Amino acid sequence: MSIKSPTIFQRKRLAISLSLLGAFLGSCVHASYAVAQDIKVALIAGKTGALEAYAKETETGFMMGLEYMTGGKMEINGKKIKVIIKDDQSKPDMGRTLLAEAYGDDKVDIAVGTTSSGSALAMLPVAEEYKKILIIEPAVADAITGDKWNRYIFRTSRNSMQDALAAASTIKAGGSIAFLAQDYAFGRDAVKAAKEALATAGSKAKVVHEEYAAQTSTDFTAPAQRIFDALKNKPEPRILQIVWAGPSPMNKLADLKPERFGINLAPGGNILPVMKLWKSYVGTQGTIYYYYDFPKNKMNDWLVAEHTKRFKAPPDFFTAGGFAAASAVYTALSKAQSTNTEKLITAMEGMEFDTPKGKMNFRKEDHQALQSMYHFKIKKDQKNEWDLLELVREIPANEIPVPVKNKR
C-alpha cells in the first residue's frame, strides 16, 4: 500500500496547527511562570498572648506600608505581593516552626517578624538554614544583631541599646538610678544595655539597684519598697527607670508615692492606650521610638491621616514599626530587581529607606537599622485623649552610637 505525500495545503495546515499548539503551550508555561513569580512575604507576629496589641499594630502598619509604597497596587516590579500572616503566640518553638513552614512549604521570598525577642532569637538559625532573608520587627533584644546574628538577619526595629543610649542622653548629670524590669530576656537585656549606655554617654549617674519582676506581676508593693530603700538616701536626682512591655506598672508605682523619697519615675515609651493613663504625671520625661505627632514628613502625614480616618485613632508605636518593615521590603526588592537572597543582601547592606520616622539605613556590619529616637515629656495641656506627649528633642541617629557586637 502506497502512502501519499501531504499536499502543500495539508503541510501548511499542519504547520499552522503546530504553531498554534506551540503558542498555546507557551502561554500555559508563561501563565504558570507568572503565578510562580508572585512575591511571597511571611509576617510572623505574636497575635495571641501578652503581646497581642503590639502584634496587631505591627500587622496594620505592615499592610498600610505596602499599600503606601505600591500606590495601592500591591505590586513590586510588576509582580503581585502575597502576604502570609502567621501567629507564633510569642512562643519560641512555634516561631521556629512557623518560619521553617514559611520558607519550606509556603516558599516565601522574605519573612518579617516577630513580636517577642525570645521567639525572634529562636527564628534566627532557621533563616540561616534556609538561606532566606528575615527582617526582625519589632523584637529588640541586642543579641539578635549581636552574638546570635547571621548574615540573613536585618532589623528595622530599634534594639535595646538604642533605647538605652537615647535614655542615657537625657541623664548626663549625676544622680542615682534604679531599674524595674520584667524578669525575662527583654527586661534583663534592656537593663544590661542601659548600664552600658550610661557609661558610653559619659553620664555621671550611678546605678544603685536592679529589680526584676515576673511578666504577670500585678502587685508591686514589695519590689517598690526594695527600690525605695535603695534610692532614698542616695545623691539626687533619684530616678526609677521603668522597662516594661505590655501594661505598664507606672500608675501602681505612682500610687506608692515615690516622691516621698525624692524619687522621679522615668517611663520608656509605650503604646497609646497605656500612655493615656499617665495624664496625671505632667512633666514626667522619657524617651520613645515613635509618637505620631513628632516626625514631620510626607510619609508620616499620610499614615496619621489615613490611620485616623480608618480606625478613629492615630497610629501607634508598633504601627510605625510595621510600616518601616514594609518600606524596607519594598525598597530592597525594588533595588535588587530580584528575590534572589544574595542579590537582596547586596542591595540591603547600607541601604537607606524612608519610614514614618524619617530615613533609616541598615548598617553593613550587623544589619541594624540606624534611626532617630525622641525625648518627650508628658503634656500639661492635652487637647484630646491622644494628645499626650510634648517633644523635648529629636535624638538623631548620629548621637546614638550603637556598638557592633556580632563579631562578623
pTM of the full structure: 0.85
For residue 398, what is its C-alpha cell?
548620629
pLDDT of residue 186: 82
Give pLDDT, residue 44: 98
Give the HSE-up count for residue 200: Cα atoms under 13 Å, Cβ half-sphere.
Answer: 19
- Per-residue pLDDT for the chain (408 aa), expressed as one digit of tens each? 444 555 554 554 544 444 444 554 454 444 433 344 899 999 999 999 889 999 999 999 999 999 999 999 999 989 999 999 999 999 999 999 999 999 999 999 999 999 999 999 999 999 999 999 999 999 999 999 999 999 999 999 999 999 999 988 888 778 999 999 999 878 888 899 889 998 888 888 899 999 999 988 999 999 999 999 999 999 999 999 998 877 778 889 988 999 999 998 887 788 999 888 888 788 888 899 999 999 999 999 999 999 999 999 999 999 999 999 999 999 999 999 999 999 999 999 999 999 999 999 999 999 999 999 999 999 998 899 999 999 999 999 999 999 999 976
Contact present, 195 and 162 (Cβ < 8 Å)? no
pLDDT value for 352: 98
Burial of residue 156 (number of CB atoms within 10 Å: 0-12, 13-18, 19+): buried
DSSP-derived 3-state class of residue 137 = coil
Distance spanning both ends of the chain, measured CA to CA: 80
Could you give all domains of the chain from N- to C-terminal order, each with its CATH number? Answer: 39-158+294-371 (3.40.50.2300), 162-288 (3.40.50.2300)
Peptide bond into 249 cis (omega under 30): no
Q: Is 362 exposed, middle or buried (0-12, 13-18, 19+ CB in 10 A)?
A: buried
Q: What is the pLDDT of residue 173?
A: 74
